[in-house]
Structure 1
Amino acid sequence: MARAGLTAERLTQAAAELADEIGFPNVTVSALARRFGVQPAALYAHVKDIQDLRVRVAALALTELADRAAGALAGRAGKDALAAFANAYRDYAKEHPGRYAACQMELDDETAIVGPARRHAEMTRAILRGYDLPEPAETDAVRMLHGTFHGYVSLETAGGFRRHERDVDASWSRALDALDLVLRNWPSA
């Protein structure tokens, strides 16, 4: 019989919190079981295996990130929308490093995260509507934005910008200015 109070949702939330504390790659069924004071086998009544748990954390994180971005985007367009989305993305990654890492994981079976991932991608494309980019330029721009946001956040959280006196927030602001300029002046094919 499964331990009272354990559910897939509670385990997912606890795994996400644990990921933020110890790093996403370090989340194991054993570590999660210790958090609840149960044997690892008790968790298998609610999650199939560690991969299932990681996919659940990725789906949770993508949903949280999309919710945060949606709130930031409300009523904004153009550069304001770009900055709001980028800041929501950056803030989430810094506040929830383990969950953010889960968003980036490669999955064998992506069915569990299709909805949250699609919602996040649709918001990125909504920002780009203000720049009136046709396909395939829009897809190229989505990739450029994700690469820039992810690269900046990854370097920042790893301490890659500590060795320079220039304030990282000032550089972030300039990067957003540059992205806006590029999007407004997208090169023709």
Structure 2
Amino acid sequence: MVAAAVAMVDELGAESLTLALLAGRLGVKAPSLYKHVDGLADLRAAVTVESKRELAGVLERAAVGHGGAEAIVALADAYRAWAKAHPGRYPMTIVAERADDAEDIAASSRLYAVVAGALRALRLDGEDEVDAIRALRASLHGFVGLEAAGAFGLPDDVDRSFALMVADVVAGLERRAAKDGTPAG
């Protein structure tokens, strides 16, 4: 059932997810879905967790075998590609985990760990690591969000702009790490 909801969100967007529509697609009556979920909020939570898990897996695979700036670039490219391939689910991955949902906490923690791992070469820790993750995440989300909204109307190469943005963010993080006495290497 969650797989069908995931497919529906990918096709129609998160706002289109309803129990009635999902039941129709599954060829069952809507009340029968309550054997599996407590309601629409529970179904949305399940789709969110599955989306975060999938994105974390994609990012993990992208970063494997890369270190330093290469890992961050590979992760950024995979992030953008996943967001473009899953425009309905992507917005569900950017929300903070729900404190009362162990599965969401685990999926969100996995996403955090993947990004932290890609940034590991910068040797940032504590607040510096959090700041670096926030900067990278905000940059990627801003670009992906603008791109999805069709906001890049100029004829220039959007892929080139993305690559330059990622390179600039990485360079900035590397400069900050060196300034803090933790040279990347």
Q: Say yes or no: TM over 0.5.
A: yes
- Judge which range, 66-75 or 97-106, deviates more: 97-106
Q: Is 1:87 aligned with 2:87?
A: no
Q: Distance in 1 between matches of 2:111 and 2:41?
A: 22
State the match for 2:61 in structure 1. 71
Please point out which of 147, 162, 166 is paired with 1:156. 147
State the match for 1:135 in structure 2. 126
| Alignment gaps of 5+ in structure 2 | 181-185
Q: Is 1:52 aligned with 2:54?
A: no
**Number of matched residues?**
178
**1:101 Cα shift?**
1.8
Q: Distance in 2 between matches of 1:133 and 1:73?
A: 18
Contact 1:55 1:112 (C-alpha < 8 Å) held by counterparts? no
TM-score normalised per structure 1? 0.89
Match runs of 1:1-189 below 5 Å = 11-105=1-95, 107=98, 109-161=100-152, 163-186=153-176, 188=180
Query: Which 4+ residue blocks in structure 1 deviate beyond 6 angstroms?
Result: none
Q: Distance in 2 between matches of 1:180 and 1:104?
A: 21
Q: Distance in 1 between matches of 2:155 and 2:165?
A: 17
Contact 2:99 2:105 (C-alpha < 8 Å) held by counterparts? no
| Alignment gaps of 5+ in structure 1 | 1-10
Q: Distance in 2 between matches of 1:151 and 1:13?
A: 28
Contact 1:19 1:26 (C-alpha < 8 Å) held by counterparts? yes
- Deviations along 1:59-107, one digit per CA (max 9) or x if unpaired, are 1011111111111111111111001111111111100111212213454
**1:108 Cα shift?**
6.8
